[in-house]
Amino acid sequence: MSPGFRFEGHASVIFPEAKINPDLPTLGLVGALGGTPVGSGNIGQTAVVPATYASYQVNDRLWLGVSINSPYGFITKPDQNWAGQTYGRSSKAFSINVTPTIGYKVTDWLSIGVGLQVQYLDVTLKRALGLSPLAPAAILEGDAYGVGYTLGLTLTPLEGTEIGLGFRSSIRHQLDGNMRLGPTTVAPIKANVNLPEVLTFGVSQRLSPQWKVMAGVEWTNWSRLNIVPVTSAITGTAVTALPFSYRDGWFFSVGAEYQMTEQLALRAGLGYELSPITDRTRDVRIPDNDRLWASIGATYQWNEQLSFDIGYTHIFVKDTDIRLVPGNPQFAALPFVAEVKPSVDIVSVALKYRWDEPAKPIPAPIVRKY
């Protein structure tokens, strides 16, 4: 958090690209069974992800803050009639977090923060009930509210050195919704979904008045998202299951910032992410793999109260295969083998404004947003 009374508004536009190209034996099998032997087209859907942050400095020790963001979400939508439609026609997950936070400066070298997460989750998954282009759809939809917490601390052991540690708890959601099988059958369902906890560690070191370097590592407990039973809301009996069977995810990053002028700062960084999705668990809804992030950005300080940020990221995702065969938890009778070449571009902008007059120096806080 920062001194005074501040507001930040962020917006990221995400441009994903991923085409699922089935191999020839798969296309031949689908065609022989009466399906449409074609690939998915681009399943990625452009999305705008907003976020806002506000903080208020009560005194030289205490800060109050709130953030509103969307930590989890994706949309994938292949062409309506394609070779893998029995495994996925479209998928959407959307979340929004509201997190009020309290930050406290314990000493000149230690600050701590704690927050309450209130999260809304909405999920819709569609697949075809057959290979025919006219096959009806099975649609699972549900939403829920959940509550969790955040913790954070920042150490400044030396001048110019900051060490941050943040934790975001798991949130348990009990999805309430419906399972639709074709145009006539609708059954109320429930499903318990445990979203992962996240642990983040970061270091920032100022080398000179112009140069600063940063490094970080993040662990996400995606193995919590294993096999999710879907049960009848009336009888409690099993209806289906969502077999994610993910492993834990890791993200490693390094970066540098250069203060080019008093008003303009430039930065760049690299990150490498170990995906929670493996060759054994990959499916057509999220054909993810390990990825390299390359980012550049800049901040322009318009005046003492107003600044602007802009950034661009390209994500290089490893070319990967989908093998929906025996052994894959998503396998359902029909073998499906395909190749995917995904990539993602992200453009982000932000506006930061300080509402109070920064005429008098205020001791700078060191509690970060986590």
Structure confidence at residue 368 (pLDDT): 42
Give CA 27 to chain center in angstroms. 33
Q: Per the structure block, which two tokens stand in for 54?
A: 């506000």
Q: Which two tokens stand for residue 318?
A: 């490893």
**CATH code assigned at 268:** 2.40.160.60
Residue 366: inside a domain? no
pLDDT for residue 370 is more than 50: no
* Contact of 322 with 283, CB cutoff 8 Å: yes
DSSP 44: B
Residue-level pLDDT at 369: 41
Residues β-bridged to residue 146:
119
Q: What tens digit of pLDDT does each residue of 112-170 get?
A: 999 999 999 999 999 999 998 889 999 999 999 999 999 999 999 998 999 999 999 99
More confident residue, 349 or 134: 349
Q: Which domain holds residue 178?
A: 4-354
Retrieve residue 302's tokens: 């318009």
> What percent of the chain has a predicted confidence (pLDDT) above 90?
85
Q: Where are the alpha helices (DSSP H) in the chain?
A: 24-32
Evaluate whether residue 282 is within a structural domain: yes
Q: Are 111 and 367 in contact (CB under 8 A)?
A: yes
Q: Does residue 370 lie within any of the structural domains?
A: no
Strand pairing category for 343-354 and 238-243: unpaired
For residue 288, how many C-alpha atoms fall within 13 Å in the half-sphere facing its CB? 20
| Residue type at 292 in one-letter notation | L
Q: Is 240 helix (H, G, I), strand (E, B) or coil?
A: strand
Gyration radius from the chain CA atoms: 23
> Tens of pLDDT along 308-323?
999 999 999 998 999 9
Non-local (6+) Cβ contacts of 74 within 8 A are 91, 92, 93, 286
Q: How many domains does the chain have?
A: 1
Please state the rounded mean pLDDT for residues 337-345.
Answer: 94
Q: Is residue 228 part of a domain?
A: yes
- Burial call 65-74: b when 16+ CB within 10 Å, e when fewer: bebebbbebb
CB 214 within 8 A of CB 184: no
* Cα separation values, 331 from 66, 118, 244, 280, 337, Å: 43, 35, 12, 10, 11
Q: With contact defined as beta carbons under 8 Å apart, do 266 and 256 qualify?
A: no
**pLDDT for position 365:** 43
**Is residue 359 included in any domain, yes or no?**
no
Name the pLDDT band for 248 (thresholds 50, 70, 90): very high
From the number of C-beta atoms within 10 Å of its C-beta (0-12, 13-18, 19+), residue 287 rates as buried
Give the C-alpha separation, 34 to 179, whole Å. Answer: 26
State residue 4 phi and psi, 5-degree precision: 85, -155
Confidence of residue 360 (pLDDT cuts 50, 70, 90): low
Average pLDDT of the residues in 214-219: 98
CA-based nearest residue to 196, from 143, 154, 247: 247
Spatial separation of the C-alpha atoms in residues 153 and 144, rounded to whole Å: 30
Question: Stretch 17-32: mean pLDDT, rounded?
Answer: 93
Please tell me the distance from the alpha carbon of residue 270 to that of residue 150, in angstroms, as a whole number: 26
Residue 73 covered by a domain: yes
368 within some domain: no
pLDDT value for 364: 45
Q: What pLDDT, on a 0 to 100 scale, did the predictor assign at position 21?
A: 95
Q: Does any domain span residue 360?
A: no
Alpha-carbon gap, residue 330 to 281, rounded angstroms: 7
Q: Among the listed ranges 15-19, 66-70, 332-336, 344-348, which one has the minimum average pLDDT value?
A: 332-336
